[in-house]
Amino acid sequence: MTGKKVLVVDDDVRTVELVKLYLSRDGYRVLTAYDGLEALRLAREARPDLIVLDLMLPDIYGLEVCRILRGESDVPIIMLTARTTDQDKLTGLDVGADDYVTKPFSPRELAARVRAVLRRLPGERVAVQIKHDELTMDLEKQEAWLADEPLSLTNVEFKILGVLASNPGRVFSRAELIERAMGYDFEGFDRTIDVHILNLRRKIEADPSRPRYIKTVYGVGYRFGGGER
């Protein structure tokens, strides 16, 4: 689970609950606020890793909240609003927003935007050549070997394995793996990942029922075990 905190600010309770549902499913700890004053208080006290901020808020307008927070910290901010003109978007970005999502929106797309913005922050490993036990991958050449024998992987399988193997021990939700391997606009089901994981295990595990490389984290997703028994 990511363990990162996301503050969701919107005066519409249904919107907040919908966004919270999708972000919680991705493993985020979600804080909620329904007006500008509460947003500022929680941002200062809880120090979230990212804020989803509605433009039209009671007490303090969303743009002003963004402006105040940007003067105090560099916390990533995604603006969420029904206003769709280019000038509105530019204004939000000018005061320090990192991204802009307009209503009505796809909760899956918003969750993907959150992951994308957080991924720009330092801390996640990026590797070109990976070796764990008998498994070797070259991410630039899109080639993989097991015990020096070439693996025949589909493009999606290679991407999934590359994401997991680049970050051993980190748990990825199904939604995260879908975004990394297929893009956030993929319209299939999260369980599609399970099928690809099953196929990967058949190709890289000596005993797919007792995997050494791709471990299931029940209720969350998958992590790379690096060949551990």
pLDDT per position as a tens digit, 140-168: 788 999 998 999 988 889 989 999 998 88
| Domain segments of the chain as ranges | 5-119, 129-224
CATH architecture, domain 5-119: 3-Layer(aba) Sandwich (3.40)
Q: Enter the tokens of residue 58.
A: 């009671």
pLDDT in tens, 177-204: 887 776 654 444 557 788 899 999 999 9
Q: What is the pLDDT of residue 88?
A: 60
CB 37 within 8 A of CB 31: no
pTM above 0.85, yes or no: no
- Under 8 Å between Cβ of 37 and 60: yes
> Radius of gyration (Cα) for the chain, nearest Å?
20
Helix/strand number for the chain, H first, E second: 8, 12
| Per-residue exposure over 21-56, b if at least 16 CB sit within 10 Å of its own CB, e if not | ebbebbbbbbbbbbbbebbbebbeeeebbbbbbbbe
* Average confidence score pLDDT of the chain: 84
Q: What is the CATH number of domain 129-224?
A: 1.10.10.10
Q: Hey, what are 98's tokens? A: 């990192």
Q: What is the pLDDT of residues 23-36, one digit of tens each?
A: 998 889 999 999 99
pLDDT attached to residue 84: 59
User: What's residue 41's pLDDT?
Assistant: 95
